[in-house]
Structure 1
Amino acid sequence: MLRSLLLAALALGAPAVAQTSAPADDLPTPAPTEREIWATFTDEAPRIDGHLDELLWRRVEPVRLFTQVWPDTGAPATEETEAYVAYDHDNLYVAFRMLDSEPHLIRAKNLERGGRNDRDDHAYIGLDTYRDGRNAYLFEMNALGTQDDATITDEGLTIDSFSWDAVFRSETVIDETGWTMEVAIPFRQLRFPEGDDLAFGLMLSRTINRKNERVLWPEIGLDRGSSFAALATVSQYGVLRGLKGIRRGRNLEIKPYGITGAQQTRPDLGLPDTEAEVTADAGVDIKYGISSNLTMDLTVNTDFAQVEADNVQINLSRFGLFFPEKREFFLERSGLFEHGNARSTQTFFSRRIGLTEDILAGARVTGQVGPFSGGVLNIETGPGMGDLFGTQSTNNTVARLRTDVLPRATVGGIVTNLQTSDRFNRAAGVDGQVRFGANSLVDAWATQVWDSDPDLNSAAGHALVQLATDEVGANVAFTSVGSTYAPALGFVRRQDMRRVAGGAFYRPLVSIPGLPIVRRLAIQTEGAYITGQDGEVQTTELGAEVRADLYRRDVVGLSVNRQFERLEVPFAIREDEIVAPGDYAFVQAGLQGETDSSRPLFASGGVATGGFFGGTRTDLGVNAGWRQSQHLVLEGGLNHSVIDLGNGSFSATVASLSALTAFSRTLFGRTLVQYDNFSQELQANVRLDWIHTPGSDLFVVFNTAYGLEDDADPFDPRRTLSFRDRVAIVKLTYLVLI
């Protein structure tokens, strides 16, 4: 399968090369309007140093029409912003001059690429290269020039969207008038239609962090509910015109890696430490632009040793936990493969691939041709490269296709297949979505699974209707999951259910006498009625929440939830705490709060208490951090639950401490230390990243775990920690652009 995919992709031919004609760089460019900008051509590339002293920027008519999306939607920006757009045959250039009446208050501390730029003054550039009003590239830079980037899929933007790593240049200067920035985005990093005269959708954004103010060009309102979601409202982007003679390049990126490491394990605390096992390996990732619309990614002998550790979770429910994907190969363009209900009933969940076996080789083709977009993913996993395509290897295949049928409507389908020498599991699904009004939609999907064991053949489906504006809305949904529904490449939290759910919200912008700090109130309620496929009631849920959003990104909220659970079989919270079958009804109330995390000191926390399966439960969660400087950020967290099921109380505790140490924009490290009292294990993950050239890294990773002796009291100062496992890894990558 993998070899066939590679041959088919290569047969599509080499990328087309656009003509290199361009307007003379001394011709005047039309002035910007509220929704349109004309890019200025230059045959002399500007120096990307943050100083806007080149003649080019004096020739470009800047955009000044920035308006607030938050906190005062539609109002003029409180600080003047100018943006300049130019290009040559190879790069798009964007420069910002961001004036500030109090430049000494500009927040600029993050040096970690892909880190928390949202805690600083920062800017975004959004590019809808196909002008489909749905999908876009997003480039983010803070006031130190620290970069991040994302891909927007179907006007959706999540934390996972920021896994894309583009190679582009950005530099900034903070001075007595504010800060300036220059950005160069290579056209080879983008995909766009054929043609010599192009127009892109464009969005420009600036955030003045201390004021919690986000301004945009063009004007985009709060229709999607938040100023962050407004960045992804691609259908409302302006237009960038005048792009001619773009050179697409050969679009070939080769990224080999070499890795070496040592592991020492003590599987039984009664045995002496084992000898350290030293290993070395190598592999390669290749990205090839098959055409202007299609990209192929290849990976051979893939290794994800540099991926950050998972956050420890303790499961106090009877359903499985969700651990998000963190591997770059799967996260890039992951939005194209989404199908089903996120974190609940996903037809495809990439984390299923390669967790128990090595990833031996893989290929992915993604792209957009006219109204069609999607991709094909094929991964071979197994015990080692010696068994590639052998009897012990496993083939994992996913194909996804979506097409626009109306300006704001899509339909699509997905197919997944897990195949071994003696087993298969296949799933096929369809989905569709229609958006209308400000934030209203109809969304539906259905998936059927076929397994080599016919008893596992089953289906699931979902339908949602939502009517909403930025201020008021309501929704109703129905979900059905078969009793044996289990796509092998998917994630299913709960089988055997029919769920009817609904909710409503009211979140007006307010001005409360005596409370000028409150900007918006949010009042919402939701409920669910869940039965098995036999119609017998399993769960009912009803909850309400009141939340106040303050001007400076502080939040406080109060919630109340009532839950009914009917247990047909017992389940274990831990080995000696069993919840017996029966009917349980209980109510919990909680209070939550969060301060602005861009301040030097910040915190969040919550407390909830009430009933729990015939007993009581109290939860306390606290997280706090200190941004000491550009070079050090410390954060700590504690989640502590006290549960009493009638046989005496017990606790579930997870504690963590993280430290981000950044020496520059190219050298930074992160340390995460975690402890939980269920496993009684202390874990530490230390990860150092040196970006020695753009797109190329040297990773040094050290993981270690220690455990308490059996029945030891974790609060006894005489307790002893015993070594369980330690791993040290060095990984070097180098990006070659051809």
Structure 2
Amino acid sequence: MNWRLLFCTLFWMLLSFMGLAQKPIGISRFAGEFKLDGVMDEAGWKSINSFPAFMHIPTVGDNPSERTEFWMAYDNNFLYVAGNMYDDPKGVQGYSFKRDDGAGNADWFGINLDTFRDRENCLSFFTLPTGNRYDFAISKDAQGNDGSWVNFSWNTFWDVAVSRHAEGWSAEFRIPFSTLRFQDQNGRVVMGLTFVRRISRKNEMITFPRISNQWGEQSFWKPSQSQEIVFEGLFSKKPLYVTPYLLSGLEQQNSFSQAKKSYQKNNKPTYNAGLDLKYGLTSNLTLDLTFNTDFAQVEADDQQINLTRFSLFFPEKRLFFQERASIFDFDFGNPNQLFYSRRIGLHNGEQVPILAGARLVGRAGKWDLGFMNMQTRHIASLPAENMGVLRMRRQVINQNSYVGLMTTSRLGMDGSYNLAYGLDGIFRVIGQDFLQVNWAQTFDRENNSNPDALSNSRVRLQWERRTIKGLGYNLTYSRAGEDYDPGLGFEFRNNYTRVGDRVFYGWIPKKESRLLNHQLGVTGYMFLNNNDGSTQSVEVAPTWDVSFKSNASAQAKTVYSFESLSDTFYLSDQAYILQGNYHFYSLSGFYQTPSVKMVNTRISLETGSFYDGQRVSVGVVPSWTLSRFFGLSGFIQWNKVKFSSRQQEYKAIISRLKASVSLNVKLSADAFIQYNSDANLISTNFRFRYNPREGTDLFLVVNQGNNTNRYRLDQELPIMSGRTILVKYTYTFVR
């Protein structure tokens, strides 16, 4: 027996099992002149080989149903990407020109690029047959069912052109290396690459490399599964982007006049100007500076109905906070975070003026580095504040394990302060088993905590098996002290110990099945009071999740809940729940019709007992693509809670209607109308955008609120609660 050969074989199998055995592919230089027109007729493309293509959905490893060719090349300044998507021209679906519209019922082509080859983060560049640009950032190795690993608000500078022809469609990307942060070692650069093509009408996903589907429908988004590629003779750039803005508008507010005993309209003209600057300090570090920052063009938040005792969480949409935002993740279990960027420049839903700020992100040696400092202006209910964050993180042990630290500070000009620090680590133990550890402490003027106290501390341990096939689990222990209060973070509740979360068993059926995958599992958690060990909350929910090859999906679950209220819980002035212990049960589920269709809908239902009453919640989310120029989407959620024993009733309705018009890739408009019966408000957001090139934008934004119940107070309210009309122009100078 050849023991040496046997040892080498077993060692290679072990590396393959751990995801370490992958032969890098060298990317060819583009020879000659490149023309961005969506047609691969240049000599440069003809001199290099295309990458192979593999079916990912519905059947991993099969040959694609339609011929597919992927290419990549580069020169000193640009990364070139191309795809030939052969198909019946009548079957090609491309329904939006709008920037950043992924159009769930459209065909796609694009790449995921793990620029630092950390196997956890990547940048994604995609287009539709209409030629729009669709870019976003992925973090956490695309792990989790809540979608928190994808950041659709991230944008950068790049160009794309498409061509429709008798054999299908094709696309070319030109991505400046100056917009990508990466690490070169004497001109040698290693990245991770995944090509993705989607044939919408067949719900077919095609990738390179061949990727297992054991992580579910987000498997092909995982940077850890990308192909390692190598560029030779490539050096990082140090770009400079200077983006001034000008803003003008009118604010109209109604304020009550004691003299006239009525509401009077006040018109306040608005003029503003500011500046953003982006500079590559080194090959790996990018500095962003902002002065007199304004986010007038940011899309309005979706209204939510809150039937819990805890705060609502809203995602960050402001562009300044997006680049390499994953560096600042310090996760205690979504949405609990040591750092939550919406604490900066926002207070009780209102904007707080930001005078200036600096943000540094990138890599220093083996460390991922993030630094941020922002200075806000004084407003009536809040002093001027300085807010700072420092984040460092590096790979250890193996390519999927990391340790890190974070500090945050919130210093008020009135002498108030809040300081926090945290240590965290995520370790790939074996196979798909991961251990995550988090520890943090906070200090402020009111609590005067000390480093030895548990009352100002937060800890979390999580053991997770990442798979949807066979036995999977996510087991978590966490504890938050009574005085733990991250001034720049987000916490649902405090002074508790929690255990949970999920154990399941999953199946990936055979090729003939209509099912793509399905899982049976139990989700549950328990919150205990740290002071006396009493139970605060319990939830146990047997659940069945299923995905169909048609692109439909569904879920059904039964839920047992226990809640211990230490105080009266008010749903409204007319409906409340008294202090006490409550056991209640409910049934819930949803069905999502195939999103690849022109018309699709998600329907959800929850019904059962609710504390000492009964609850019914119905949600409908329809979407209708009329053409590549026009789309409609809606949302309506109806909630009814009835307490028969107390003759109380609470009803709440939220509805939204979004209309999107895109005449071409440069001109688009969105109208967004929301109704919230709980707030007695109809809010309207209209946004027109002219985007001739990346970095140059003209926005016209109109926001208006209207009162629906004008007689709920002693004094009759005006029809309009407020209106803002703004015009904003930005232009980016590039060096």
Scaled by the length of structure 1, the TM-score of the pair is 0.89
CA 1:373–1:502 in structure 2 vs 1: closer, same or farther (change >3 Å)? same
Residue equivalent to 2:374: 379
Residue equivalent to 1:185: 175
Residue equivalent to 1:416: 408
Q: Secondary structure at the match of 1:244?
A: coil
Residue equivalent to 2:522: 525
2:111 paired with 1:120 = no
Residue equivalent to 1:731: 728
Q: Secondary structure at the match of 2:321?
A: helix
Question: d(CA) in 2 for partners of 1:726 and 1:692?
Answer: 28
Shift of 1:348: 0.5
CA 1:537–1:249 in structure 2 vs 1: closer, same or farther (change >3 Å)? closer
Larger displacement relative to structure 2 (411-420 or 539-548):
539-548
CA 1:71–1:277 in structure 2 vs 1: closer, same or farther (change >3 Å)? same
Q: Secondary structure at the match of 2:663?
A: strand
2:81 paired with 1:90 = no
2:166 paired with 1:166 = no
Question: d(CA) in 1 for partners of 2:76 and 2:621?
Answer: 49
Letter in 2 for 1:442: L
Per-residue CA distance 1:662-696 (angstroms, 9 max, x = gap): 11111111111011112211110001111023221
Contact 1:708 1:721 survives alignment (8 Å): no
2:237 paired with 1:239 = no
Contact 1:214 1:227 survives alignment (8 Å): no
CA 1:81–1:571 in structure 2 vs 1: closer, same or farther (change >3 Å)? same
CA 1:82–1:437 in structure 2 vs 1: closer, same or farther (change >3 Å)? farther
Shift of 1:370: 3.2
Residue equivalent to 1:262: 250
Residue equivalent to 1:140: 126
Which residues of 2 match residues 553-568 of structure 1 at below 5 A?
A: 553-568=551-566
Letter in 1 for 2:198: T
Residue equivalent to 1:693: 693
2:11 paired with 1:62 = no
CA 1:94–1:581 in structure 2 vs 1: closer, same or farther (change >3 Å)? same
2:91 paired with 1:105 = yes
2:446 paired with 1:446 = no
Residue equivalent to 1:663: 663
Per-residue CA distance 1:574-612 (angstroms, 9 max, x = gap): 122121011100000023101122311110111111000
Per-residue CA distance 1:324-349 (angstroms, 9 max, x = gap): 21111113321110113254421110
Per-residue CA distance 1:358-384 (angstroms, 9 max, x = gap): 111000111113321021100000138
Q: Secondary structure at the match of 2:327?
A: helix
Shift of 1:468: 4.1
Contact 1:692 1:698 survives alignment (8 Å): no
Per-residue CA distance 1:601-629 (angstroms, 9 max, x = gap): 11011111100011100111111121000
Which residues of 2 match residues 206-217 of structure 1 at below 5 A?
A: 206-217=197-208
Residue equivalent to 1:490: 489
Residue equivalent to 2:342: 351
Residue equivalent to 2:35: 47
Question: d(CA) in 1 for partners of 2:392 and 2:701?
Answer: 38
Contact 2:189 2:234 survives alignment (8 Å): no
Residue equivalent to 1:543: 541
Q: Secondary structure at the match of 2:326?
A: helix
Residue equivalent to 2:63: 76
Shift of 1:43: 5.2
Q: Secondary structure at the match of 2:390?
A: strand
Contact 1:705 1:726 survives alignment (8 Å): yes
CA 1:213–1:581 in structure 2 vs 1: closer, same or farther (change >3 Å)? same
Question: d(CA) in 2 for partners of 1:519 and 1:340?
Answer: 30
Letter in 1 for 2:705: A
Contact 2:255 2:263 survives alignment (8 Å): no
Shift of 1:392: 5.0
Q: Secondary structure at the match of 2:151?
A: helix
Q: Secondary structure at the match of 1:165?
A: coil
Shift of 1:132: 3.1
Larger displacement relative to structure 2 (696-705 or 482-491):
482-491
Residue equivalent to 2:17: none
Question: d(CA) in 2 for partners of 1:550 and 1:653?
Answer: 31
Contact 2:102 2:134 survives alignment (8 Å): no
CA 1:198–1:672 in structure 2 vs 1: closer, same or farther (change >3 Å)? same
Question: d(CA) in 2 for partners of 1:161 and 1:272?
Answer: 42
Question: d(CA) in 2 for partners of 1:134 and 1:288?
Answer: 25
Shift of 1:161: 2.0
Contact 2:156 2:694 survives alignment (8 Å): no
Residue equivalent to 2:212: 221
2:360 paired with 1:362 = no
Question: d(CA) in 2 for partners of 1:98 and 1:469?
Answer: 31
CA 1:193–1:605 in structure 2 vs 1: closer, same or farther (change >3 Å)? same
Residue equivalent to 1:5: none
Residue equivalent to 1:329: 320
Letter in 2 for 1:448: Q
Shift of 1:437: 4.6
Shift of 1:226: 2.3
Contact 1:614 1:645 survives alignment (8 Å): yes
Residue equivalent to 1:426: 419
CA 1:204–1:711 in structure 2 vs 1: closer, same or farther (change >3 Å)? same
Residue equivalent to 2:15: none
Residue equivalent to 1:650: 650
2:681 paired with 1:681 = yes
Larger displacement relative to structure 2 (350-359 or 289-298):
350-359
Of 265, 268, 279, the residue aligned with 1:277 is 268
Residue equivalent to 1:703: 703
Residue equivalent to 1:7: none
Shift of 1:445: 0.2
Question: d(CA) in 2 for partners of 1:294 and 1:249?
Answer: 11
Question: d(CA) in 1 for partners of 2:672 and 2:699?
Answer: 16
Per-residue CA distance 1:418-463 (angstroms, 9 max, x = gap): 0023111000001000124553210010110000112676111110
- Give the unaligned 5+ runs of structure 2: 1-20, 450-454
Q: Secondary structure at the match of 1:363?
A: strand
Question: d(CA) in 1 for partners of 2:28 and 2:589?
Answer: 53
Letter in 2 for 1:187: F
Letter in 1 for 2:514: I
Contact 1:685 1:704 survives alignment (8 Å): yes
Letter in 1 for 2:559: N
Question: d(CA) in 1 for partners of 2:190 and 2:422?
Answer: 35
CA 1:525–1:177 in structure 2 vs 1: closer, same or farther (change >3 Å)? same
Letter in 2 for 1:84: W
Residue equivalent to 1:175: 165
Contact 2:359 2:372 survives alignment (8 Å): yes
Question: d(CA) in 1 for partners of 2:169 and 2:421?
Answer: 51
Residue equivalent to 1:21: none
Letter in 2 for 1:490: G
Shift of 1:266: 1.1
Residue equivalent to 2:575: 577
Letter in 2 for 1:40: S
2:115 paired with 1:129 = yes
CA 1:308–1:222 in structure 2 vs 1: closer, same or farther (change >3 Å)? same
CA 1:286–1:265 in structure 2 vs 1: closer, same or farther (change >3 Å)? same
Shift of 1:36: 4.7
Shift of 1:75: 2.0
Shift of 1:509: 1.5
CA 1:543–1:415 in structure 2 vs 1: closer, same or farther (change >3 Å)? same
